[in-house]
Amino acid sequence: MKAVSGRRRIAGAAIGNFAELYDYFVYGFSAPVLAFHFFPQANPAAALMGTFAVFAIAFFMRPVGGLVFGYLGDRMGRINVLAITVLLMGVATMAIGLLPTYTSVGLLAPALLLLCRLAQGFSHGGESSGSYSYTIESAPDGQRARWVSIVACFAFLPAAITGILILGLRAAVGDDAYENWAWRLPFILGGVLAAVGLWLRRRLDDPEEFTEAAREKPMQNPIRSAVSANLKSIVIVTLLVSVQAVAAYLILGYMYTFLVKVAGLGNTVALLSNAVAIVAMAFLMPVFGVVADRMGRKPVLFAGAAWLAVTSYPAFKLAASGTVAGAYGGQLLIAVGVALFASAGFTVMLELFPTAVRYTGHAIAYNIGNAIFGGTAPLIATALVSGLGTPLAPAYYVIAIAVFGLLVIIFTPETKDTELRSSLGARRSRTEVQVPETVVKSQMGT
């Protein structure tokens, strides 16, 4: 079989990740119209809260999906499982676009919406850890943060493209038609994108790093091994996710609604400004990934958390001003902080686990962290604005999480030169010759 090039490996992980994450983000941008169609309208604020609650509940399926798909991924291989996750996500997303509304079937409508979101959460629980594990195990030494950041870039881009797609649909059919029926089209398109992702992934093979590790020590129970031998890494990753998840999901799943409902901006300005912030965040990540490969993970993590702690208040003050410039400037401030932190964060969270249980260990920690901090971020932000009576309330939450993240980083090991096979158990020295282990064994035998 012809060897798969590095560029093709990045493309397969990134484009499949794009299809998967598009399906997830389209829900966030559709929150206002979903609230109208799937919940009683006697209390519009409660309907919106219900929509975000469904968004949040699905995140608690991610640890379950992470356990199932992580176990299968460490036993069966990365690519086989990644094909399943992208297919399941596409089916669930297309189903949302075909659901009956509250006016047609009553309370069955939000129940069916929740069921589809649970399927999305279950799928996503295996997708992120699998695609990033595949990427880092395929990357050359000294370029791991750059490779992972490129794939992560494509995970964030769907949010911006979804916003532009919704804006284009509104312009093409009109606001009334969009809110009546055309809102379904982005969800149906998600199924098509998933099919493309499936086609691409079926043409890849598992990285040599994984296949060699599997031959050396076949893994019987990745879950037990991940928890018993890597509990400290699981705790660190779960806590590190807090900074990245809260700030990122405020941009990805909340700021559009915030700009429309709280700041009083029109749909066009809200969508365009949010899309620009997301694109900036996505393309900054590979740039900061190069810095993380050169300087190490911890300096970049510190910079990202500190940036969010300092700039979150002025960011929300700008966004809440009701001006176009404020919408762009406020979101861009948060986007820079997320890009800084995530460029190193995605990588260190993978490097803390050895290859044999990387998929499982990362999936457990990453998904628990996202369930606690990421999925609840839009809901908590909405509740804080309502409860405290100030549009700046979400900034206080981000600041608190960022300061907490700075403390977690202190106890996080530097993983820049860590051997993937044994994770923190072995580090390469600068003078060590990079010879494959199989060659070393062969020479010793002779």
Could you tell me the sign of the dihedral formed by the alpha carbons of 98, 32, 122, 210, in that order?
Answer: positive
| Residue with the larger pLDDT of the pair 56 and 351 | 351
Which amino acid is it at 340?
A: L
Does residue 277 register a pLDDT over 60? yes
Q: Give the pLDDT score at 424.
A: 58
Cα 93–Cα 184–Cα 281 angle in degrees, nearest 5: 65
Give the C-alpha separation, 374 to 218, whole Å: 34
d(C-alpha 91, C-alpha 288), whole Å: 35
Helix (H, G, I), strand (E, B) or coil at 77: coil
Classify strands 418-419 and 423-427 as parallel, antiparallel or unpaired.
antiparallel
Predicted local confidence at residue 240, as pLDDT:
95
Q: What pLDDT sits at residue 105?
A: 93
Alpha-carbon separation of residue 391 from 169, 270, 303, 316, 321 (angstroms): 29, 16, 26, 8, 9
- In sequence order, the 6+-apart residues with CB closer than 8 A to the CB of 388 are none
3-state secondary structure of 297: helix
Task: Write the DSSP assignment of 104-163 as a string of letters.
Answer: HHTTHHHHHHHHHHHHHHHHHHHHHHHHHHHHHHHSPTT-HHHHHHHHHHHHHHHHHHHH
Over range 211-231, report the average pLDDT.
81
Rounded-to-integer distance, Cα 356 and Cα 420, Å: 9
Residue from 179, 408, 391 nearest 298 by CA: 408
d(CA 277, CA 286): 16
Average pLDDT of 416-443? 51
- The pLDDT, as a whole number, for residue 443 is 34
For 264, list phi and psi in degrees, rounded to 5: 80, 20
pLDDT at residue 135 is higher than 90: yes
Contact 218, 106 (CB under 8 A): no
CB 342 within 8 A of CB 336: no
Tell me which amino acid residue 146 is: R
Q: pLDDT (tens digit, 9 = 90+) per residue, 302-359?
A: 999 999 999 999 999 999 998 999 999 999 999 999 999 999 999 999 999 999 899 9
Is 90 exceeded by the pLDDT of residue 124?
A: no
CA 355 to CA 358: how far, in whole Å?
Answer: 5
Quote the DSSP letter at residue 1.
-
Interval 201-222 mean pLDDT:
81
Give 57-90 pLDDT, tens digit per residue.
887 888 899 899 999 999 888 998 998 988 898 8
CA–CA distance, 305 with 439 (Å, rounded to integer): 42
**Pair 152, 285: CB distance under 8 Å:** yes
Which letter, b or e, does each residue of 173-211 get, where b requires 16 or more Cβ atoms within 10 Å of its Cβ?
A: eeeeebeeebbbebbebbbebbbebbebbeebbbbebbe
Confidence of residue 444 (pLDDT cuts 50, 70, 90): very low
pLDDT band at 38, cuts 50/70/90? very high
Cα-only R_g, the chain: 21
Q: Using CA of residue 132, residue 133, residue 136, residue 138, what is the dihedral sign?
A: negative
Closest CA to 367 of 53, 92, 60: 60
Angle at 284 between CA 283 and CA 285, to 5 degrees: 90
Instruction: Output the pLDDT for position 218.
Output: 66
The β-bridge partners of 423 are 419
Domains and CATH numbers, the chain: 6-437 (1.20.1250.20)
Q: What is the pLDDT of residue 257?
A: 83
Expressed in angstroms, the distance from the first to the final Cα of the chain is 30
β-strand partners of 419: 423
Interval 155-209: pLDDT, tens:
888 878 887 888 889 889 998 999 999 999 999 998 888 888 888 888 888 888 8
Query: What's the CA angle centered on 428, arms 355 and 347, to 5 degrees?
Result: 45
* Confidence check: pLDDT of 419 > 60: yes
- The pLDDT assigned to 4 comes to 63
> Does residue 425 sit in helix, strand or coil?
strand
| Contact present, 379 and 397 (Cβ < 8 Å) | no
Specify the pLDDT at position 224: 85
Average pLDDT, the chain: 86
Interatomic CA distance for residues 55 and 118, integer angstroms: 9
Provide the sign of the torsion angle of the four alpha carbons 347, 350, 353, 356, taken in this order. Answer: negative
423 or 53, higher pLDDT? 53
* Crossing angle for the helix pair 358-369 and 231-253, to the nearest 10 degrees: 50
